[in-house]
């Protein structure tokens, strides 16, 4: 297939690109490298089946030819970005998503939206199933991302209803792995970098908040299965193994053999509304796609 990966210069997008090339697809990466890095694609410099186009998807799209699949992963994703570039996040989630949906319709391509567990907000239901409609603060510091992603899902579904666009939505839970930008503020990479440097690990608050961490290789297998499938509803993709942030810090210290200590620091202002717990119910992904993660946090 010929596949457009918007956001393909980022952490997840570059791994998705690798996976698609490995199985014989042709890939066009569209990215403005606002949070992604060209070095994520350096290893593909001599691969003929991939083309990298630097472009902001909120601007009118260049003529890129026809596609069988349009995958929209273009969006900053770290809470540090929510404070730094909230307007750009809202713009890419709305205008950017609309432009890519229109392109998919024009090509009769399947459109895959990278959504997020953040659509559930600070959940009152645990674990989170796709039928849960969420608990989101529409004006807090996280709202630029959460509401952009919720708007993105609404846009995708409206496009499908009005135009018959073939769409899919992946609700991605916390994912980690190689090529995360070391200083983007997300927890796994932050703790590993701190541990390797012998600096204190900065646990926000008492560290009792939970997350469920999925290795990027598992996530990309799920995304690939979803882009090959025809289901149009949202599908949770994540690893249901749940850890407190403090336990994660302890595991990182153990696995790196670091002498770092663990410091509790106040929850940063820009993280107000930090979800207290998060774990995906992945029964839909299991049933529909035959997918489940295989990499434990320690192995990852
Ligand atoms: P990332 O920041 O590494 O990748 C995002 C990519 O999108 C970057 O390469 C960035 O330059 C690009 N981008 C941003 N705005 C753009 C624009 N206007 N035009 C073109 N390109 C643009 O983040 P990631 O972790 O790889 O996330 C990829 C996608 O997955 C995002 O949509 C994110 O919301 C979603 N997601 C990720 C996670 C996770 O844990 N990694 C969890 C939930 C959802
Ligand atoms: N976190 C932390 N220390 C850090 C970075 C993050 O304790 O240096 C916490 C953060 O407050 C949150 C969890 O780790 O409770 C996950 O944060 P991340 O930014 O990775 O993802 P998200 O909040 O989007 O789930």
Q: Quick check: 118 and 149 in contact, CB under 8 A?
A: yes
For ligand 1, atom 34: residue with the closest CA: 77
Please tell me if the CB atom of residue 174 comes closer than 6 angstroms to any atom of ligand 2: yes
Identify the pLDDT of residue 270: 87
Q: Which two tokens stand for residue 86?
A: 């909230």
Could you tell me which of 219, 82, 59 has the C-alpha nearest to residue 137?
82
Q: Which two tokens stand for residue 167?
A: 């769409």
pLDDT along the chain (300 residues), means of 10: 98 98 98 97 97 98 98 96 96 98 98 98 98 97 97 98 98 97 95 98 98 98 98 97 98 98 95 95 98 98
Helix (H, G, I), strand (E, B) or coil at 201: strand
Q: What is the model's pLDDT at position 169?
A: 98
The answer to whether the CB of 95 is under 6 A from ligand 1 is no
Instruction: Compute, in angstroms, the gap from residue 130 CA to the centroid of ligand 2.
Output: 23
- The two structure tokens encoding residue 272: 């107000």
């Amino acid at each position: 297939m010929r596949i457009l990966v918007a956001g393909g210069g980022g952490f997840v997008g570059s791994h998705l690109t690798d996976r698609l090339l490995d199985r014989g697809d042709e890939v066009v990466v569209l990215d403005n490298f606002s949070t992604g890095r060209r070095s994520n694609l350096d290893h593909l410099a001599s691969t003929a089946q991939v083309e990298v186009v630097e472009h902001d998807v909120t601007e009118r799209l260049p003529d890129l030819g026809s596609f069988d699949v349009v995958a929209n992963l273009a969006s900053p994703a770290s809470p540090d970005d929510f404070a730094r570039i909230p307007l750009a996040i809202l713009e890419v989630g709305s205008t950017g998503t609309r432009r890519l949906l229109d392109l998919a319709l024009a090509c009769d391509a399947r459109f895959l939206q990278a959504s997020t567990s953040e659509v559930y907000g600070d959940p009152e239901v645990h674990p989170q199933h796709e039928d849960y409609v969420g608990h989101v603060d529409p004006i807090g510091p996280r709202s630029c991302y959460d509401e952009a992603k919720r708007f993105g899902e609404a846009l995708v579904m409206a496009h499908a209803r009005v135009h018959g666009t073939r769409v899919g939505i992946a609700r991605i839970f916390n994912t980690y792995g190689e090529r995360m930008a070391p200083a983007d503020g997300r927890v796994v990479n932050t703790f590993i970098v701190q541990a390797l440097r012998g600096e204190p690990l900065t646990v926000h608050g008492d560290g009792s908040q939970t997350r469920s961490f999925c290795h990027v290789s598992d996530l990309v297998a799920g995304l690939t299965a979803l882009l090959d499938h025809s289901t149009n509803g949202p599908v949770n993709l994540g690893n249901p193994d749940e850890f407190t942030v403090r336990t994660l810090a302890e595991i990182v210290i153990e696995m790196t053999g670091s002498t770092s200590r663990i410091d509790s620091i106040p929850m940063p202002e820009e993280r107000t509304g930090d979800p207290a717990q998060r774990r995906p119910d992945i029964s839909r992904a299991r049933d529909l796609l035959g997918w489940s993660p295989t990499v434990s946090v320690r192995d990852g």
